[in-house]
Amino acid sequence: MTRKRVFKSLLAVLAVVFLIGCEVSFFVAFNGGTSKLFVRVTDAKPALPHGVEAVFITFEEFFVHKDGGKWYSLPLFQTPYSVDLLKLQAGRTTTLVQPASLASGTYDRIRMSISSAAVLRDGRFYAVAIPSGNLVIEKGFYFDLRDGRTTDLTIDFDLSQSLAATGSLSAYSYELNPVLHINNTEEAAAIRGEIAPETFAEYDTTEAMVTVFMDKDLSGGFSTGDEEYTRIVVVEDNPAFSIFWLVPEQGYTVQIEMDPTGPPAFEQFIFPADLQKGVTFLLNQSSLI
């Protein structure tokens, strides 16, 4: 091959590379840049039957859906990934999806699959029934991924509503129907309170049930149609409590039961304006309940 033909061939190759480069640059410019998504999982201090020491959930897959587009599979921290949710209390989280690159834009749904679950109670493991054998959970949640930035989401896997116990003391049985609350991690709100020793003494009990309802009609109190958001157990030996991972700028009603057969011992409505992004609301004006 002559030097001239070699030179022409080289120019042709460079032209192809240039065109490919232009196409790639055009594609990126047209479709936007890339961002990263980081996903955590957590649970509040759930109201579960006495003796429950651990609740293991095994995650298999995780997807996000781009608004007007398609589903994207994201790698879990491990596959499969078994997590003891009872260790994730008091605001603690664990990584579910490590920072993963995605096209910038708006995403509108999250989907995950769970292959198994188990409860450790009184030193013995019990299998948890999962609908369809392999449970696929899909939940609508809008979030934006901006160019060059990392978006941090936290999924509150609410065991107090997700895990149902049936059977007798000699034959426990459990079923899993997940209830998830999703938040931008840095925007999640919280509620804090403390029950006075005198209140426990008045009702002659060592435990209290704190239930949070989402006030759908903003009536300023509990009413038909209000949706239970979560519930936790507070014990006399540790009377201060916090409820984490609340969706901000929503109305909530907090009820505290000291006697399950009677009316609530305490009830307070929280206006959306008082629960802004990242805010911790103090019940009873910071006084003991």
For the entire predicted model, the pTM comes to 0.78
User: What is the average per-residue pLDDT within 132-156?
Assistant: 88
Asked whether residue 62 carries a pLDDT value surpassing 70, the answer given is yes
E strand residue ranges, the chain: 34-42, 52-66, 71-74, 81-84, 94-103, 105-121, 124-129, 135-145, 150-157, 163-168, 171-176, 180-184, 189-194, 207-214, 227-235, 240-246, 252-257, 266-270, 280-282
pLDDT over threshold 80, residue 45: no
Higher pLDDT, 96 or 15: 96
- Among 4-13, 127-136, 271-280, the range scoring the smallest mean pLDDT is 4-13
How confident is the model at residue 285, as a pLDDT?
94
Question: What's the pLDDT tens digit per position in 198-232?
Answer: 999 999 999 999 999 988 767 666 667 778 888 88
Which range in 47-56, 168-177, 239-248 is most confidently predicted, on average pLDDT?
Answer: 239-248
